[in-house]
Amino acid sequence: MKVLVTGANGQLGQDVVRIFNQLGHEVYGLSRDRLDITNQEQCNSVIFDLQPDAVIHCAAYTAVDAAEMEEDTAYLVNAVGSRNIVVAAEKVGAKVCYISTDYVFDGHSNEAYREYDNTDPQTVYGKSKRAGEQLVQTLSSRYYIVRTSWVYGSHGNNFVKTMLKLGAEKPSLQVVNDQLGSPTYTVDLAYFLEELIQTERYGVYHASNTETCSWFEFAQAIFDYAGLKPELLPCTTEQFPRPAPRPKNSIMEHLSIRTNGLRDLRPWKEALQDFIKNEI
C-alpha cells in the first residue's frame, strides 16, 4: 500500500514509518516542515500529488497542560488540521486512520471505557482531540479512529525514559498511585495499525498494550527490568497538581479489536521488557 504518515518525526510517527517500510509498504513520512496540516491548500496539494491509499494521521498537539492556555492552537492542530487531512484524503479516495486518546473520556468511570461509550473530555487537549474525531467521522467515508493511552517508545520524551533517567540519578522518587491505565509501546501500536488499515473494518478502536496498572506500578516495573533501585514512594494526584486534570481511570476496553477478529496487543509488561532491553 501507498501510505502517507503525518507527524512523521513524532514519537509514534517515527516507528510507524520504520515498521511500515520494513513490511513492504510505500511510505511517505511527512513532518511539519513538509506538510503543515493547518494549511488546507497544502494538504490538498500534497495528498493530491502523492495519491496515497491510506493516511495514518499521527500529527497532533499533545501538550496537555500547555493546551489549557493555548486553546486556539490545540483546536487549530487537532480539529482544523484533522479536517484538512480528511477532506484532502476523501478527494483521492484514501482511508484515514486518526490517532486519538483516552482523554476523550471523563476519567471517572469505575469500569473500562468501551469504544462507543459517551465521551466527556475534561481538558482542552481532550476536547480538541474529540473535535478531531467528530470531524473525521463526519467527513470521511472510510475511517478508523484509534484511541490509545500512556504511549512510550524510543523517540521523544515519555514516562519510561524519564523514569530511567531519574531512577539512575535520584535515591528516591514519588509517583502517583491513584491513576490507572494501560501503557502502550509505539512499536506494538504501529504493528496493529499496519494490520488494521489493510482491512475494511472501519470504526472506532481502543488499542493499548493489554492489562492495566497505576503509574506507580508502571514505575516499579521499569526499575525492576532496568535493574535500578531507587526508593519508590506512592503519592496521590492531589500532591502533584497540574494545570490540566489527569484521568483517574484511563482503562479502555478493546471491544472493537475482539468483535472485528483482529489480533490484540500483547501484555504491557512483555512490551516494556522488550523496550528496556533494546534501550539499555
Residues identified as active-site: 125
> Counting beta carbons within 10 angstroms of the beta carbon of residue 118, is it exposed (0 to 12), middle (13 to 18) or buried (19 or more)?
exposed
- DSSP bridge pairs for 232: 173
Residue pair 250/195 in contact (Cβ under 8 Å)? The answer is: no
In sign, the C-alpha dihedral spanning 74, 131, 203, 106 is: positive
DSSP letters, 209-262, are -BS-EEHHHHHHHHHHHHT---EEEEE-GGGS--SSPPPSB--B--HHHHHTTP
Please name the residue that has the C-alpha cell 506512592.
234
Contacts (Cβ under 8 Å, ≥6 apart) of 237: 176, 178, 179, 246, 248
- DSSP bridge pairs for 174: 233
| CA–CA gap between residue 35 and residue 38 (Å, rounded) | 9
Length of the chain as a residue count = 280
DSSP letters, 31-52, are -TTT--TT-HHHHHHHHHHH--
φ/ψ of 42, rounded to 5, equals: -65, -40
Query: Could you tell me which of 268, 107, 136, 262 has the C-alpha nearest to residue 196?
Result: 262
